Amino acid sequence: MIKNLKKQNVWFVFTPYLWLVLFFFVPLALIFKISISVSEWGMPPYRDLFSFSENGFKINSTLGNYLFIFSDPFYIRSYLNSLSLAFTSTVLCLLIGYPIAFYVAKSKPSIRNILLIMLIIPFWSSFLLRVYAWKVLLQGSGIINSILIHIGLISEPISMLHNHYAVILGVVYTYLPFMILPLYGYLVKFDLNLIDASNDLGAKPLNTFVKVILPLSLPGIVAGSMLVFIPVVGEYIIPEMLGGSDKLYFGKIIWDEFFVNRDWPIASALAMSGIVILVFPIIIFQLMYAKYNFKNE
């Protein structure tokens, strides 16, 4: 920007560069290394990748951890469970979030700002406590059971907690703002004249929605879906608090392999596979985003 800053540029670039290499890239490389190491008892609980002994230099590398994971339906199922949880809740968030974002964006500016603040409040408040709120609500003695008994729909409290439906509910609830806010960001920039123009040219409201509004909010849909899908794949807290033993998820498996089984190589291999599995949806999202993110001016 300014010629005199040239010397300062050096640390301007390299401070964050170095930081990210050291604390982001190296750790990732490290779990890759551990994922192809042989596990053993001790501290650290894996054999060094390279060793020198009387027999000379030796590489103790193995693909065994990966083979182990992918030959055990237990792990494969947990991946699939996580992906299907992420997919289901992304779709639900979109279905619930789109109309809300649409109507908030189309409100009068005075009301819109108040509604926007009301959307941001849950976004800011503690994630953990919002999950906890559902734990309270879904209890056997919780308020939803009480209401259902009161209106006579059920006679005995039913167990709503500790199953994968509760997990989906919790995920949709906590991640909904992540879907609504980017959608809102695109819809609020939306030129309302385009809707009028489409109507004027003979398109009925439904056609206007499908042919004009939906394609123009696609970047918002993609951004929102990405913000929900990706973190939900690795989600640990919600399944732990609201879920039961009916379905196990990838995040919890890593946690347990590490903290409970203390099997670092397996945990690392799980994490590496998780990254690989996530790379595909991310690339798809990025391509869609790039394709439809034309300038709206």
Partner 1 sequence: MSEPFLQIIDVSKRFDNVVALDKVNLKIAKSEIFSLLGSSGCGKSTLLRIIAGFEKPDEGRILLEGKDITKLPPYVRPLNIMFQNYALFPHLNVTNNIQFGLKEEKISKEEINHRVNEILNLLELNGLEKRKINEISGGQQQRVALARCLVKKPKLLLLDEPLAALDKQLRVQTQFELVNLQYKLGITFIIVTHDQEEAMSLSDRMAIMKNGEILQVGNPVEIYEKPKDKYIANFIGTANIFNVLNKNNQIIIKELNYEVKNINNKENYVKCLIRPEKISVKKLENQSDNLNIGVVKEVAYLGSYTKYLIEVNGIEFYSFMQNSLVSDNLQIRWDDKVQISFNETSIYFFND
Partner 2 sequence: MNKLFFKIFTLTIGFSFLYFPILTLIAYSFNDNKRVMVWKGFSFRWYKELFQNEQILEAFYTSLKIASLSATFATIMGVMIGFSLTRISKIPARPFFIFLSSSPLVMPEIILGLSLLLFFISSNHIIGFPSSKGQLTVLISHITFSVAFVAVIIQSRLSSYDKNIEEAAQDLGTIPNMIFWKVTAPVILPAILSGWLLAFTLSLDDLVVASFTTGPGANTLPIVVFSKVRLGLSPEVNALSAIIMLIVILAAISIYLINRSNIKK
| Distance separating alpha carbons of residues 47 and 114, to the nearest angstrom | 58
* Contact set for partner 2, span 31-60 (CB under 8 A): 31, 34, 44
Phi/psi for 253 (5° steps) reads -65, -45
Find the shortest distance in angstroms from Cβ 123 to partner 2: 9
Scanning the structure block, which residue is given the tokens 């974002």? 101
Return the DSSP state at 107. S
List, in sequence order, every residue forming a beta bridge with 31; answer none if it has no partner. none
Choose the contact partner of 193 out of partner 1, partner 2, none; CB within 5 to 8 A by kind: partner 1
Cα 48 to Cα 135: distance, rounded to the nearest angstrom: 44
One residue of 149, 240, 288, 292 binding partner 2 per CB under 8 A: 240
Using the 8-state DSSP alphabet, how is residue 104 labeled? Answer: H
Dihedral (Cα; 170, 91, 228, 135), 10-degree rounding: 0
Report the nearest approach of partner 2 to the CB of residue 280 (Å).
12
**124, 204, 260, 280: residue in contact with partner 1 (rule CB under 8 A):** 204
Give 47-88 as a 3 state SS string. Answer: CCCEEEECCEEEECECCHHHHHHHHCHHHHHHHHHHHHHHHH
Q: Which does 133 bind (CB under 5 to 8 A by kind): partner 2, partner 1, none?
A: partner 2
Interface with partner 2 by CB under 8 A: which range of 68-76, 121-129, 186-194, 195-203? 121-129
Among 42, 56, 109, 202, binds partner 1 (CB under 8 A): 202
Question: Which residues, 197 to 226, sit near partner 2 by CB under 8 A?
Answer: 226
- In the list 41, 129, 200, 276, the residue contacting partner 2 (rule: CB under 8 A) is 129
Interatomic CA distance for residues 41 and 54, integer angstroms: 22
Please report the beta strands in the chain, taking only residues with DSSP state E, as ranges in sequence order.
50-53, 56-59
Nearer Cβ to partner 2 (54/124): 124
Among 55, 71, 110, 193, binds partner 1 (CB under 8 A): 193
**Given the complex with partner 1, which of 58 and 211 has the nearer CB atom?**
211
Distance in Å, CB of 104 to partner 1, minimum: 20
Closest CA to 162 of 239, 83, 92, 77: 239
Give the span between the Cα atoms of 249 and 163, in whole angstroms.
12
- Identified binder of partner 2 from the candidate list 214, 282, 287, 290, rule CB under 8 A: 282
Judged by CB under 8 A, which stretch of 51-59, 61-69, 100-108, 208-216 contacts partner 2? Answer: 100-108
201 binds, among partner 1, partner 2, none (CB under 5 to 8 A by kind): partner 1
Partnered with residue 50 across adjacent β-strands are 59
Q: State which residue, 126 or 207, has the beta carbon closest to partner 1.
A: 207
Q: Which residues would be at the binding site for partner 1 (CB under 8 A)?
A: 191, 193-194, 196-204, 207, 211-212, 215-216, 292, 294-297
